[in-house]
Amino acid sequence: MTTARTQRFAFGCIWLAAVFTLAVLALVVGLIMVRGLPSLSIGFLTGTPENLGRDGGIFPTIVGTIVLGLVSLLIATPLGIGSAIYLTEYTHESLLTRAIRFGTESLAGVPSIIFGLFGFIFFVTYLQMGWSILAGGLTLALMVLPTIIRTTEEAIRTVPQSYRNVSYSLGATRWQMVTTAVLPSALPGIITGIILAFGRAVSETAAVIFTAGTALNLPKSVFSPVRTMAVHFYILAVEGISLEKAYATGAVLIVTVLIINVIASSLITRLVRKQVRR
Amino acid sequence: MKERSISFILLITAFGALVALGLITYFIFQAGVPLIAKVGLWQFLAGSTWNPTAKPPAFGILPMIVGSLWLTFGSLVIGVPLGLAVAIFMVELAPAWLAVVMRPAIQLLAGIPSVIYGFIGLTLLAPVIRATLGGPGLSVLTGAIILGFMILPTIIAISEDAIRAVPIAVREGAVALGSSHWQVITGVLLPTARSGIIAGIILGMGRALGETMAVIMMIGNSLAIPVSPLQPATTLTSNIGLEMAYASGQHREALFATGVVLFVFIMILNALATTFVRRPGTSRRSA
C-alpha cells in the first residue's frame, strides 16, 4: 500500500472507533432512558417502595443517596482541600510529599470492593457503627478523597504566581494569601472536584452495600442504615424483583449523573476560558 | 502562632490519604491473613475447590484467579485498541466541534454507574451472545466486552495526556523529514508517549481487575474453572461481593483472604503504573 492509502485506511479505522464509542454511549444512555422514562412519574420519585420495590416509588433511596453523598463530602472536602493546600503552598517536593502522593495515588487505585470490606470490618464492626449512614459516609469519604485532592491541587496550580506575589507584597501572611488570593481563584476547579466526587458517591455500589446496608426505610439519624439508588437498582435487577422498576430507577440514576456531569464540564469550560483570557 | 497551628493542621490533613491506606492495609490483612496461614498460601492460591461451608471446608481460589485473569485480559483486548484509537482521534484528528463533544462524552462514560453497565450486559448483550455464539450468555466474553468499555475512559484520559505531552519540536522534526501525518503518529508520537500509554493500560487493568458489581451481573458466577470465553466464571471480586452478604466465621475470613490477594495484585499494578508515569495525578494540564 502507498503511504497515502495506508494513512487513509488508518484514519478511517480511528474515525470508526471514535464514532463507535460515542454510539455505545448513546446506546447505553438511550436504552435505559427509553425503557425507564415511561414508568417515571412524580409518584415514583416521592413514593415509598412496597413489596421489596416491586411496587411504589423510590423516595427513601433518593434520600439515602443524597444524605450518604453529603456526609462523605462533609468529611472528604476539608481533608482533601487541606491536603492539597499543604502540598502546593506549604511545602516543597521532598520525601514527605512523595510519601503523601504515593498514598493518594494508591488510594485512588484501590477497588471499591476493598473499600467495602474495609468499611465493614473497621467502621461497621470494629468501631461498632453498624450498617449506617455514618459508616457508609466515612467509607465513601476515603474513596473520593483522592479525587478531591487531585482536582484541588490542579486548580491551585493554575493560579498565577503573580497573585501570590501581590498578596505577599501587601503584607499578607501565608494563610491570608491562601484564603484571599489562591482559593477564590481556584474555586471553580475545587467545586468541580467536589461535584465529581459526589458523582462517584452516587454511582457506587460495592463500597456502600456492605457499609450502609440495604434498608428501605427512611433514615432517622446518621446511625440508621440506608439503601442508595445504585444499590436499589442492583438489587431490583439481580434478584429479579422488577425489571420495569429497575429501568425506571436506572433512568433516575442516569439523569442524576448527566446533571452532575453537565455542571462539572460547564465549570471546567469556564475555568479554561478564564485561563485563555489571561 | 496562628500561622504555625494552621500549617500544622494542614500537615495533618495531608496525611489523611496515607493514614487511610495504612488502615485499609492493616485491617484487610489482619482479617484475612490468619486463614491463609491456616490453609497454607499455596493451597489457598492453587486449590481448585472452593466450598467454604462444607465439612471439612475447602478454600481454593484458583477458579477466581483464573476468572479474573481471563476477564481482565479480555477487557484489555477490547479496551486498549479502542481507547488508543479514541485518544489519537481526540488529539490528532477530531475537528474542533467534535473534540468539544468528545471530552464530556468520555467523562460521562466514566460517570455512568457500573451497575448500569452490568445491567446492559445482563439484559442486552448476554441474550445476543447466547443466540449467536451459544453458551449460557452470561459468560467471560459478555463480561469482557462490557468491561472493555468501562475501562475506556481510564485508557483514553491517560494516553491522551501522554500524546499531548510530546514536545512540538519532536513532531515538527518528523514533519520536516517529509513524514505523512500517520507516519508522524506511529513513528514519533506513539513511541514518545509510550510510557504514559502503558501506564494508562496498567491502570485500566487495575480497574477491570477491581470491578465487582457489574461483573457479578454479567459473568454467570460459576465456580468451575472456565476453559472457553463462552463459559460462565467467577472472579476474585465477584465472589467477595456475592458471598459477603451471608458469610460468617471462617467463610468470611476466607473472603477477606481473597481480598488480601486482590489487594496485593492491585498494589503491584499501581506500583508498575507509577514507575511508568512519575506523577499521573498532576498532569500536563496543571502546567
Question: Does A106 lie in the same domain as A46?
Answer: yes
pLDDT bucket at A1, cuts 50 / 70 / 90: low
Q: Mark whether A7 and A74 lie in a shared domain.
A: no
Same domain, A113 and A161: yes
Which A positions 152-211 lie with beta carbon below 8 A of chain B? Answer: 153-154, 157-158, 173-175, 196, 199, 202-206, 209-210
The residue of chain B with its CA nearest to that of A203 is B113
Q: What's the gap in Å between the CA of B226 and the closest CA on chain A?
A: 22
Q: Please report where in the chains the cell 460459576 appears, as a residue.
A: B222
Q: Of the candidates B139, B269, B150, B140, which has an alpha carbon nearest to the alpha carbon of residue B202?
A: B269
Tell me whether residues A142 and B20 touch, CB distance under 8 A: yes
Q: In chain B, what are the domain boundaries?
A: 41-277
Statement: residue B135 has pLDDT above 90? no
Q: What's the confidence (pLDDT) of residue B284?
A: 43
pLDDT band, residue B276 (cuts 50/70/90): confident
What pLDDT band is residue B285 in, cutting at 50, 70 and 90? Answer: very low
User: So what's the pLDDT on residue B287?
Assistant: 32
Give the residue on A whose Cα is nearest the Cα of B178. Answer: A3
Whether the CB-CB separation of A56 and A50 falls below 8 Å is answered with yes
Chain A residues closer than 8 Å to B17 by CB: 83, 100, 103-104, 107, 145-146, 149
Round the average pLDDT of chain A to a whole number and report it.
92
CATH homologous superfamily for B41-277?
Answer: MetI-like (1.10.3720.10)
Average pLDDT of the residues in A229-236: 96
| Residue A277 pLDDT | 55
Residue B141 has pLDDT above 60, yes or no: yes
Residues of chain B neighbouring A22 (CB-CB closer than 8 A):
101-102, 105
**What's the pLDDT score for residue B138?**
94
Task: State whether B259 and A114 contact (CB < 8 Å).
Answer: yes
Q: What is the pLDDT of residues B227-243, one digit of tens each?
A: 999 999 999 999 999 99
For residue A261, give the nearest of B98, B108, B286 by CB distance: B108
pLDDT of residue B194: 92
Q: Could you tell me if A45 and A165 lie in one domain?
A: yes
The CATH number for A174's domain is 1.10.3720.10
CA triple A267-A112-B282, angle to 5 deg:
45
Shared domain for A23 and A131, answered yes or no, is no
Cα–Cα nearest to B215, from B127, B264, B147, B128: B147
Residues A210 and A225 in one domain: yes
> For B175-187, what is the mean pLDDT?
91
- The reply to whether A64 and A15 lie within a common domain is no
Chain B, nearest residue to A81 by Cα: B13
Residue corresponding to grid cell 504515593: A102
Evaluate if residue A29 carries a pLDDT over 80.
yes
Sequence-distant (≥ 6) Cβ neighbours of residue B199 within 8 angstroms: B158, B162, B273, B274, B276, B277, B280
Residue A274 pLDDT: 65
- Predicted local confidence at residue B58, as pLDDT: 93
For residue A158, the chain B residues in CB contact (below 8 A) are 286
Please name the residues between 29 and 88 in chain A that touch chain B, using a CB distance below 8 Å.
29, 31-32, 78-83, 85-87
Q: What is the ipTM of this complex?
A: 0.92
pLDDT value at B272 more than 60: yes
Residues 231-270 of B with CB under 8 A from A: 237, 240-241, 244, 255-256, 259, 262-263, 266-267, 269-270
> What total number of domains does chain A contain?
2
* One-letter-per-residue 3-state SS of chain A: CCHHHHHHHHHHHHHHHHHHHHHHHHHHHHHHHHHHHHHCCHHHHHCCEEHHHCEECCHHHHHHHHHHHHHHHHHHHHHHHHHHHHHHHHCCCCHHHHHHHHHHHHHHHCCHHHHHHHHHHHHHHHCCCCCCHHHHHHHHHHHHHHHHHHHHHHHHHCCCHHHHHHHHHCCCCHHHHHHHHHHHHHHHHHHHHHHHHHHHHHHCCHHHHCCCCCCCCCCCCCCCCCCCHHHHHHHHHHCCCCHHHHHHHHHHHHHHHHHHHHHHHHHHHHHHHHHHHC
CB contact under 8 Å between A3 and B279, yes or no, is no
pLDDT score, position B114: 96
Are both A54 and A127 inside the same structural domain? yes
Residues 100-129, chain A: which have Cβ within 8 Å of B?
A: 100-118, 120-122, 126
- As a whole number of angstroms, the distance between CA A178 and CA A58 comes to 43
Confidence of residue B282 (pLDDT cuts 50, 70, 90): very low
Test B266 with A109 for CB contact under 8 angstroms: yes
Q: Are residues A13 and A130 in the same domain?
A: no
| Interatomic CA distance for residues A30 and A105, integer angstroms | 34
A110:B263 CB<8 A:
yes
Comparing alpha-carbon positions, the chain B residue that sits nearest to A259 is B108
Domain that holds residue A24: 3-38
pLDDT in tens, A113-147: 999 999 999 999 999 999 999 999 999 999 999 99
CA distances (Å), A81 to each of A39, A98, A174, A264, in order?
A: 41, 18, 16, 17
In A, minimum Cα distance to B203 occurs at: A109
Looking at chain A, which residue has its C-alpha nearest residue B153?
Answer: A21
What is the crossing angle of helices B152-164 and B62-88, to 10°?
40
Q: Which of B3, B23, B287 sits opposite A174 (nearest CB)?
A: B3
- Whether residues A20 and B263 touch (CB distance < 8 A) is answered with no
Q: Residue A150 and residue B282: Cβ atoms within 8 Å?
A: yes
Cβ distance B28 to A265 less than 8 Å, yes or no, reads no
Using the Cβ of B158 and the Cβ atoms of chain A, whether some distance falls under 8 Å is answered with: no
Say yes or no: A17 and A86 in one domain.
no
- Phi and psi at A94, nearest 5°, equal -155, -175
pLDDT score for A88: 92
Region A49-69: mean pLDDT is 92
Residue B273 scores a pLDDT above 90: no
Distance CA B91, CA B164 (A): 7
Q: Are A25 and B105 in contact (CB < 8 Å)?
A: yes
User: How sure is the predictor about A53, in pLDDT bands with cuts at 50, 70 and 90?
Assistant: confident
- Give the C-alpha separation, A203 to A232, whole Å: 11
Report pLDDT for B275. Answer: 81
Interval A191-197 mean pLDDT: 93
Residues of A in contact with B181 (CB under 8 A): 7, 11
Q: Which of A17, A126, A154 sits opposite B282 (nearest CB)?
A: A154
Hey, of B29, B115, B123, B266, which one would you mutate to test binding to chain A, going by the most A CBs within 10 A of its CB? B115
The number of C-alpha atoms within 13 Å of A69 and in the hemisphere containing its C-beta is 24
HEC string for chain B: CHHHHHHHHHHHHHCHHHHHHHHHHHHHHHHHHHHHHHHCHHHHHHCCCEECCCCCCEECCHHHHHHHHHHHHHHHHHHHHHHHHHHHHHHHHCCHHHHHHHHHHHHHHHHCCHHHHHHHHHHHHHHHHHHHHCCCCCCHHHHHHHHHHHCHHHHHHHHHHHHHCCCHHHHHHHHHCCCCHHHHHHHHHHHHCHHHHHHHHHHHHHHHHHCCHHHHHHCECCCCCCCCCCCCECCHHHHHHHHCCCCCHHHHHHHHHHHHHHHHHHHHHHHHHHHHCCCCCCCHHHC
More reliable by pLDDT, A268 or B238: B238
In this structure, are A27 and A64 located in the same domain? no
Burial environment of residue A164 by CB neighbours within 10 A (0 to 12, 13 to 18, 19 or more): middle
Residue B85 has pLDDT above 90, yes or no: yes
